[in-house]
């Protein structure tokens, strides 16, 4: 099993989710996060006071999938979350050593 962590632009969520559903992904966890990379933050001005926010809001998706489909899921995210401009995000892959479905006690691939 693989844990795929994708950090994407917030407005791309629906598109990514739809595309992932068509390739068979049955669930994911989404968090609102902030961070920085190459994309610069925004300058906010309140009357005289200027603040540069160097943290940019993003969404973090966490998806655990069978090894067999991992490559396809990663490719799907890369293609649908893509806009071509700086700040599109990143995708990381980790090994997962175990999974349990709490309701039934099923483990590993059957729990996904």
Which residues form the interface with another protein (CB under 8 A)? 44-49, 51, 53
Q: Which is nearer to another protein, 54 or 79 (CB)?
A: 54
In Å, what is the CA distance from 86 to each residue of 23, 30, 89?
A: 27, 21, 8
Nearer to another protein, 43 or 104 (CB): 43
Question: Smallest distance, Å, CB 43 to another protein?
Answer: 9
DSSP H helices in 1-112 = 13-22, 67-80
Give whichever of 33 and 55 is closer to another protein, judged by the CB atom: 55
Q: Rounded to an integer, what distance in angstroms lies between the CA atom of residue 72 and that of residue 13?
A: 18
CB of 57 to another protein, least distance (A): 15
* Kind plus residue range of the DSSP H or E element containing 56: strand 56-65
Q: How many CA atoms lie within 13 A of 34 on its CB side?
A: 7
Cβ proximity to another protein, 34 vs 101, nearer residue:
34
Query: Least distance in Å: CB of 89 to another protein?
Result: 25
**CA–CA dist 48, 85 (Å, integer):** 31
Q: C-beta of 32: minimal distance to another protein in Å?
A: 15
């Amino acid at each position: 099993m693989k844990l795929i962590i994708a950090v994407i632009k917030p407005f791309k969520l629906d598109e990514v989710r739809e595309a992932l559903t068509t390739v068979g992904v049955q669930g994911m966890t989404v968090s609102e996060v902030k961070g920085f990379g190459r994309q610069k933050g925004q300058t906010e001005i309140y009357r005289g006071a200027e603040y540069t926010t160097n943290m940019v809001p993003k969404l973090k998706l966490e998806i655990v999938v069978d090894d067999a489909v991992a490559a396809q899921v990663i490719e799907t995210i890369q293609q649908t979350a893509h806009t071509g401009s700086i700040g599109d995000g990143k995708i990381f892959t980790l090994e997962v050593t175990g999974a349990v479905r709490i309701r039934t006690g099923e483990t590993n691939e059957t729990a996904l």
